[in-house]
A and B are shown apart, each in its own frame.
Chain A
Amino acid sequence: MQKAPNKGFRRVKVFLRPEEREVELEDVKDVRGLLRKLGLREGDVLVIDAKSSSLLTPDEGLSDGQEVEVRRVISGG
């Protein structure tokens, strides 16, 4: 019998820009948790779902295998 997946365990692939670095994080439930693990403030980056090309808000949940881009906020003019 196949073992039921552990719903709390998620592996998320993260592309960091502009550092051009890729990391995999385990056990992150939502965007806020992901940023906490990366040591980033919510206001410092935009988090983008790589597949749908949509922004993710801090309270959005993340699913196993999801790929996200974390892009530093720019504000020059």
Chain B
Amino acid sequence: MPRYDRQVTIPGWDQEKLRRAHVAVVGVGGLGSAVLYYLTAAGVGRISLVDGDVVEESNLNRQVLHFTSDVGRHKVVSALEKLKSLNPEVTLEPLSSELTAENVAILGNPDVLVDALDDLKTRLIVNEYAVENRIPLVHAAVEGFQGLVTTIVPGSTPCLACIYPEPKARATSPVVGVTAGLLGLMEAAEVLKLLLGLGEELSGRLLMVDILSWEFRSIEAKFRRGCPVCGGRKDAESSE
């Protein structure tokens, strides 16, 4: 169909595979806006959107799915409206709820989980769920003009708890809209690659991006001995 004409000719692309896929995006803010927009446009068949917040005016510099007239509305409702209009073929499942360890099972069993959150505590809850259920997890974080992105493949790569052993206290970070947009697009690209089996994901690597210097650095992640979530892949195979 014409909607996907410009992508279906890409070698290895399988539109039907995308149509059958389910992706859950946790966080409908700066990162989430970019991820959701592009996954919806690409034709991912089923997308869950999870966020318990309402739109605030201070979100509008970076959360591009929300408009001035959306201030005060639930983010998932605001996003749903635009995404439906963008691509009515996609099944969108809004979950207007703050994610906690008690309700994390609402994420279900998607093919890929996307961490588009803004606090480490909830990120680690999603990580634990991903590892337990062996669901690939795409993670990104931003601050100012900097960001990082990585993909956790349970059973194969270090998990988020290996990288961030203790949740840092929640703080309001300064974020430039383009940083959230760029890193969100990188997350969306990772999701498409995972679903289509194309290229090499950022599994086991953190890609650090500095927009001011245009430096992109790939950092190797390592299993953490005694990781309570993934076991440090049996403590890095008992230190080889």
B141:A77 contact, CB within 8 angstroms: yes
**A33 close to chain B: CB less than 8 A:** no
**Known A-B contacts A55-B220, A76-B143, A77-B32; A41 and B166 likewise in contact (beta carbons under 8 Å):** yes
A55:B206 contact, CB within 8 angstroms: yes
Residues on A with C-beta less than 8 A from B140 are: 77
A74 to B199, CA, bound (A): 27
For the A-B complex, the count of residue pairs with Cβ-Cβ distances under 8 Å equals 82
A76:B224 contact, CB within 8 angstroms: no
B118:A77 contact, CB within 8 angstroms: yes
B-contacting 9-mer, from A4-12, A21-29, A46-54: A46-54
Give B186 Cβ to nearest chain A Cβ, in Å: 13
B220:A43 contact, CB within 8 angstroms: no
**Known A-B contacts A55-B206, A77-B30; A42 and B166 likewise in contact (beta carbons under 8 Å):** yes
Q: Given B32, B123, B163, B174, which contacts A55 in the complex, CB threshold below 8 Å?
A: B163
Residues on A with C-beta less than 8 A from B222 are: 54-57
A57:B219 contact, CB within 8 angstroms: no
A52:B220 contact, CB within 8 angstroms: yes
**Interface size classification for chain B:** 35 or more
**A59 close to chain B: CB less than 8 A:** yes
**Known A-B contacts A42-B166, A44-B168, A55-B163; A76 and B225 likewise in contact (beta carbons under 8 Å):** no
A52 to B205, CA, bound (A): 13
Give A20 Cβ to nearest chain B Cβ, in Å: 12
B147:A42 contact, CB within 8 angstroms: no
A58:B220 contact, CB within 8 angstroms: no
A46:B118 contact, CB within 8 angstroms: no
Given contacts A42-B165, A75-B118, 16 further A-B contacts (CB under 8 A): A43-B167, A44-B168, A46-B206, A53-B217, A55-B163, A55-B220, A73-B168, A74-B173, A75-B143, A76-B141, A76-B142, A76-B143, A76-B173, A77-B31, A77-B175, A77-B180
Top 7 A-B pairs ranked by shortest CB distance?
A: A43-B166, A76-B173, A77-B118, A74-B143, A54-B220, A57-B224, A77-B31
List chain A positions with a Cβ less than 8 A from chain B: 18, 41-44, 46, 48, 52-59, 73-77
List chain B positions with a Cβ less than 8 A from chain A: 27, 29-32, 116-120, 123, 140-143, 146-148, 162-168, 170, 173-175, 180, 206, 217-225
